[in-house]
Amino acid sequence: MTYPNEAELLAKVPGQLFIGGEWVDGADEPFAVNDPSTGTALKHIANANPEQGIQALDAAVAAQEDFARMAPRERGEILRRAFDILQERRDEMALIMTLEMGKPLAEAQGEVTYGGEFLRWFSEEAVRVHGRYGTQPEGTGRMIVSKHPVGPAFLITPWNFPLAMATRKIAPAIAAGCTSVVKPASLTPLTTLYFVKILEEAGLPKGVVNVITTRSTAAVSSPIIADPRLRKISFTGSTGVGQGLMKEATKNVLRTSMELGGNAPFVVFEDADLDKAVEGVIAAKFRNIGQACTAANRILVHTDVADEFARRVTEKVSSFKIGRGTEEGVVIGPLVEDKAVDKVASLVDSAVAAGAELLHGGKRVEGDGSFYEPTVLNRTPSSSEIFREEIFGPVLSITTFADEEEAIRLANDTEYGLVSYVFTEDLKRGQRLIDRIETGMMGLNIGVLSNAAAPFGGVKMSGIGREGGFEGIEEYLYTKYTLTPNP
Ligand code: NAD
């Protein structure tokens, strides 16, 4: 891989708002996007005010009718061209993500692949939107059920997967024929801005996707949500913010999709293949430096194998290289900002005070940047705060259980239900766990399961709706029933 010069690449990333197909300056003072590995500014970008938020919605509303009429094949082809251009620019895109978010380059490349697949998948789904036709049971009329684009959508994305979280929303919206206003996280807006340039090159009509970057998040977002022309909100982020947005969305009874927090159990039974389970947990825990909604948060291990599992995991973790994501061989990049390091440190300290055994790590890394050591805790009590809270950092915390009933009770002992991981070689046990764990997704003997062709989403306080798969486009369609009498 040949990565471009950082300064030259950053100069190519647009630093403006994208409204109605034009790049425009923000009305407020530009804000800095920082490199979390050094704390220094990478670039200053446009800071929209509330009027500009509404201008972005105006553009989406103006483009909606024509876009809904564009042939599905044509919409699909725009996505397919965007997919191809993204492949050509994959090194640039990966480097932008590493610079603004901190993940190691190899993982950023993985996100280009994963994020890009939503473009390809929905380029194919655009032409497969089906309704149905049937005779009324009474035999007196014909029933037509058709699908239509919901209308202008507001898409709000988090910082942890800046490309994939954007493509997972923008691609199905385009495929379905919805226009949108996109608001990326202010910590990592560069990826979205660079991606939208790709959509522009792929031939997306003006106004179909509009991007606003801002530091006045609530002040800019609330008027958009309150505007009766908006029809849908799709949000990925924390549960607390999602709950607030759902309240705002009640005013106009918006269609809502909410991809919220997680607290994934990772259950290892005594009959598991421990090598596979160790490999699985390393991927499920340390990918993205632990900053994933799908991160294994509570590692539940049968008491008979817990110490051996902890020993093998610690051996691997102790070899992890810490550093800037651009350095060769780095596994643990910085956390996204200093506040995140403080939160992780406080969770680890309170777990140790509650009786967890610290097997590795357990400290922030002194010096520049927002680094925390990869950490392993064993025998963490299920009453501790770290068991309840989404850790969002490189901390692997093991809690033991005695039997299957206790494993299920502990796995379900959370208000979240996004993803669960189960490792067992017993097929019947695996099937019982599929039935009994309250979760939107499950990895059975595997630690990474996200795929553009599969429905991603949670139950309980992890959210509403699904992204990806056949289900993903449905979030941007409404169903219309028409009855017509027999001739
Ligand atoms: P966050 O909730 O702080 O922010 C998410 C987005 O919402 C950002 O763009 C932010 O600017 C915006 N936002 C914040 N307040 C807002 C308001 N009042 N009005 C409108 N927009 C507002 O979350 P984060 O820290 O960026 O991301 C981490 C969280 O996201 C974690 O809880 C993680 O589990 C969750 N997440 C969930 C999924 C999923 O698919 N379920 C995927 C990735 C991340």
Would strands 477-485 and 141-149 be described as parallel, antiparallel, or unpaired? antiparallel
Map tokens 């920082």 to a residue: 34
Which residue lies with its CA nearest to atom 9 of ligand 1? 185
Boundaries of every domain in the chain: 6-260+462-481, 264-444
pLDDT at 487 over 90: no
**468 Cβ below 6 A of ligand 1:** no
d(Cα 326, Cα 35) in Å, to the nearest integer? Answer: 11
pLDDT at 64 over 80: yes
pLDDT tens, position by position, 413-430: 999 999 999 999 999 999
Structure tokens, 117: 């697949």
Where are any strands of DSSP class E within 166-223?
180-183, 209-211
**260 Cβ below 6 A of ligand 1:** yes
User: For position 323, what pLDDT does the model report?
Assistant: 97
Is residue 385 among the annotated active site residues?
A: no
Distance from residue 56's CA to the centre of ligand 1 (Å): 21
Would strands 375-378 and 357-360 be described as parallel, antiparallel, or unpaired? antiparallel
Map tokens 């599905």 to a residue: 72
Which residue lies with its CA nearest to atom 26 of ligand 1? 158
d(Cα 177, Cα 150) in Å, to the nearest integer? Answer: 8
Would strands 296-302 and 264-268 be described as parallel, antiparallel, or unpaired? parallel
State the average pLDDT for the chain. Answer: 98
Report which residue type is found at 399.
T
What is the percent of the chain where pLDDT is above 70?
100
User: For position 1, what pLDDT does the model report?
Assistant: 67
Burial of 373 (0-12, 13-18, 19+ CB in 10 A): buried
Identical fold, 6-260+462-481 and 264-444: no
Which residue lies with its CA nearest to atom 23 of ligand 1? 237
Q: Which atom of ligand 1 is nearest to the CA of 157?
A: 9
Average pLDDT over residues 160-166: 98
Closest CA to 470 of 454, 446, 487, 449: 454
pLDDT at 272 over 70: yes
What letter would DSSP give residue 200? Answer: H
Average pLDDT over residues 9-38: 98
**236 Cβ below 6 A of ligand 1:** yes
d(Cα 234, Cα 229) in Å, to the nearest integer? Answer: 15
* Chosen CATH of 264-444 out of 3.40.140.10, 3.40.309.10, 3.20.20.80, 3.40.250.10: 3.40.309.10
d(Cα 23, Cα 159) in Å, to the nearest integer? Answer: 22
Q: Which of 241, 260, 343 to mutate to test the pocket of ligand 1 (most atoms within 8 A of CB)?
A: 241
Q: Which atom of ligand 1 is nearest to the CA of 259?
A: 41
Which residue lies with its CA nearest to atom 41 of ligand 1? 259
Distance from residue 273's CA to the centre of ligand 1 (Å): 36
pLDDT tens, position by position, 278-319: 999 999 999 999 999 999 999 999 999 999 999 999 999 999
Q: Rounded to 5 degrees, what are φ and ψ at 421?
A: -125, 135
Distance from residue 448's CA to the centre of ligand 1 (Å): 21
User: For position 204, what pLDDT does the model report?
Assistant: 98
Average pLDDT over residues 199-214: 98
* Chosen CATH of 6-260+462-481 out of 3.30.70.1450, 3.10.180.10, 3.40.605.10, 3.40.250.10: 3.40.605.10
pLDDT tens, position by position, 353-412: 999 999 999 999 999 999 999 999 999 999 999 999 999 999 999 999 999 999 999 999
Average pLDDT over residues 135-154: 97
